[in-house]
Chain A
Amino acid sequence: MKNILEARNLKTIRGGSLLVDVPGIVILEGETLSIIGPNGAGKTTLLQALSFLMKPSTGEILFRGKAVGAEQRILEYRRRLAMVFQEPLLFDTTVFGNVASGLKIRGLRGAEVRRIVEAQLERFGITPLRDRSARTLSGGEAQRVSLARAFAISPEILFLDEPFAALDPPTREAIVTDLERVLAETKTTTIMATHDRNEALRLSNRIAVMEGGRIAQVDRPAVVLNQPVDEFVASFVGMETILEGEVRDLTENAIIVRVNESEIEVAGRGNPGERMALCIRPENVTLSVPYRSARNVFRGRIMKITPLGFFLRVEISCGFPLVAYITIRGLEDLALQEGIEVSATLKASAIHAIHKDGREQANCTR
């Protein structure tokens, strides 16, 4: 795949604080890249810098190899993009008028506008709303109109800034499904900012995790999810247990890491004495009663059980704090409750070890 967009040495400084600091990022033609991170991580600012809606303080942006603002005029660059925000930001006119607005800005008129708009209305299932005033739409309908308006101009890059954050779960699900289908049809290069990692996992070819204006990691979803480069990324992608330890011993394919008084076997390499952070996903922890003695089985006490919809989150103290997810059925079968003793089993291959000594810098350009 070819590069469509590349940013180099990008910095955005506002009011004396550095909001975005990205030494380099490349977006490939046809891919969907999600930028995830907590509120205030700089996702929106990065999106606005990349789309040139807010001129970056330093650095350059190359669109198909041409520097925007130098070899490529800013207006012409913007005319190849489309933007969808969290708020639909519709114009005070009909649905048709809204979807047509980008085309009219480009000087298109008449039958051609009608043809394109009607195709987009059809695509997002809003043809019956064609002549309705934008003021009378529900949140989900309005966001569909906003998406149709963006796709009407056949953008070469689509920027989405938390597009589903304000919608209720069923509406969000329906719109994400539609967008997924449309992206598969049009193969539009998409850059989406979101704080919802599940949305990102579902729609993206790659995920960039941002923290404090920097990109901590950018990679395929499975890699970001299972091999986070640091503790921040680990906690943001759902590694609920992160333990500090030190390598004690080596076996053939594994290392033994000492955490507090316990020894945990971890698949992978390392040197004795090396400090490590062990990341464990709660769904990879198996609980059982009674206690068995084996490697990577730890005896502990249930400190707290929290319901999480279909799962229950169980906090265990077993020489170190550990979080496990268990189904409601599992909880009933094992008769688990707060205060009782259980054993927790960890698979050595399901533990991700972050090397803390002389750790490689996160590679942001992939």
Chain B
Amino acid sequence: MDILFEGIRQAFFLLVTFDPEVLGITWFSLKVSGTATLISVFLGMSIGTVVALTQFPGRKFVVSLINTGMALPPVVVGLFVTIFLWRNGPLGFLEILYTPAAMILAQAIIATPIVMGISLAAMQQLPKKLRLQVLGLGATRLQMVRILIREARLPLLAAVMAGFGGVISEVGASIMVGGNIKGYTRVLTTATVMETSRGNFDIAIALGLILLLFAFIINLVLTTVQQRERPR
């Protein structure tokens, strides 16, 4: 038990003294996962909204595909992104394997279906007649989409948070395509894996606590959104 308490004590010390290494890794994690989430919001929200508001043949198939994508295992994404970016792979000429760019790419691929699936559900949960009401108020199609997105703004925020939560805590893809290079591609999760394997529990616990803090904030927002009701 000593190892645990000693670890926690030192972890707190690292956190309150703003240890430069811990801080650097945290900041870099936020940058990579934030950028990936931004890309996924752009792609996922627009496609999710279009799929939610239109009818076309094969729509059910597309929706199931998106929902399957939400459960994409990060290691599988890591595997295929590595193959694509490998020196003589199809995208090898980019020469971005083991760079932050590769990590952003892999994380965006993980987050996009999550954001898309939740956005789709958010838009579909709006009352069907709300669309008629908006058109009945004289809206153009573009105005209608804008108003509907505003109506679904909180569930859409949930989509963003879920996407971010998915990538900040994933380790498989980041370690495969990033390589956990110190000061270059090392993020909270990959660092935790490494420090744990080396027996440096104090740093591992400090990093773990920061991850937990993110998870708490994300879930706080999600819960608030879920508890909110729509007007009549």
Contacts and interface: CB of A to CB of B under 8 A. Distances in A.
Interface of A: 48, 51, 53, 75, 78-79, 81-83, 85, 87-92, 101-102, 105-106, 133-135, 137, 139, 142, 149, 153, 159
A87 B133 CA distance: 10
A137 B151 CA distance: 17
B231 A81 contact: no
A82 B138 CA distance: 8
Contact of A83 (B133, B147, B230, B231): B133
Contact of A85 (B132, B135, B143): B132
Interface residues of B, number: 21
B137 interface: yes
Tell me if A's interface is mostly helix, strand, loop or mixed: mixed
A87 B232 contact: yes
B129 interface: yes
B151 A92 contact: yes
A81 B231 CA distance: 23
B142 to A, nearest CB: 11
B140 interface: yes
B215 interface: no
B229 A83 contact: no
B138 A102 contact: yes
B20 interface: no
B136 A82 contact: yes
Interface of B: 127, 129-130, 132-133, 135-140, 143, 147, 150-151, 153, 228-232
Contacts of A106: 138
Nearest to B138: A79
Given A87-B127, A135-B231, A159 B136 contact: yes
A81 B229 CA distance: 29
A82 to B, nearest CB: 7
A92 B149 CA distance: 11
A87 B131 CA distance: 13
A135 B229 contact: yes
Contacts of B230: 92, 135
Nearest to A136: B231
Given A87-B127, A87-B129, A105-B143, A137 B232 contact: yes
Given A53-B132, A91-B147, A92-B151, A83 B137 contact: yes
Contacts of B228: 135
10 contacts: A53-B135, A83-B133, A83-B137, A85-B132, A90-B231, A90-B232, A101-B147, A105-B139, A135-B231, A153-B137
Nearest to A90: B231
Contacts of B153: 92
A149 B137 contact: yes
Greatest chain B CB density within 10 A among A85, A89, A102, A106 is at: A89
Contacts of B127: 87, 89
Given A48-B132, A85-B132, A85-B133, A91 B231 contact: yes
Contact of B232 (A48, A75, A102, A142): A142
B151 A91 contact: yes
A82 B232 contact: no
B136 A88 contact: no
Contacts of B132: 48, 53, 83, 85
Nearest to B232: A142
A88 B231 CA distance: 9
Contacts of A75: 138, 140
A135 B143 CA distance: 22
B122 to A, nearest CB: 12
A90 B134 CA distance: 10
Nearest to A48: B132
A149 B138 CA distance: 12
Contacts of A79: 138
Contacts of A51: 136
A361 to B, nearest CB: 33
A153 B136 CA distance: 11
Contact of B137 (A88, A92, A102): A102
Given A53-B135, A83-B133, A92-B151, 4 more contacts: A92-B153, A105-B137, A106-B138, A142-B231
A78 B143 CA distance: 14
Q: Which of B127, B132, B140, B153 has the most CB of A within 10 A?
A: B132
Given A87-B127, A87-B129, A89-B129, A134 B135 contact: no
Contacts of B135: 53, 78
What are the 10 tightest A-B residue pairs by CB atom distance, in nearest-first order? A83-B136, A134-B231, A79-B138, A89-B133, A90-B231, A102-B137, A142-B232, A135-B231, A88-B232, A105-B139
Nearest to B229: A135
B141 to A, nearest CB: 9
B232 A139 contact: yes
A81 B133 CA distance: 11
A193 to B, nearest CB: 14
A85 B143 CA distance: 20
B115 to A, nearest CB: 21
Nearest to B144: A105
A355 B147 CA distance: 54
A36 B228 CA distance: 37
B147 to A, nearest CB: 7
A100 B4 CA distance: 60
Given A83-B133, A87-B129, A92 B138 contact: no
B232 A153 contact: no
B173 to A, nearest CB: 36
A135 B140 CA distance: 26
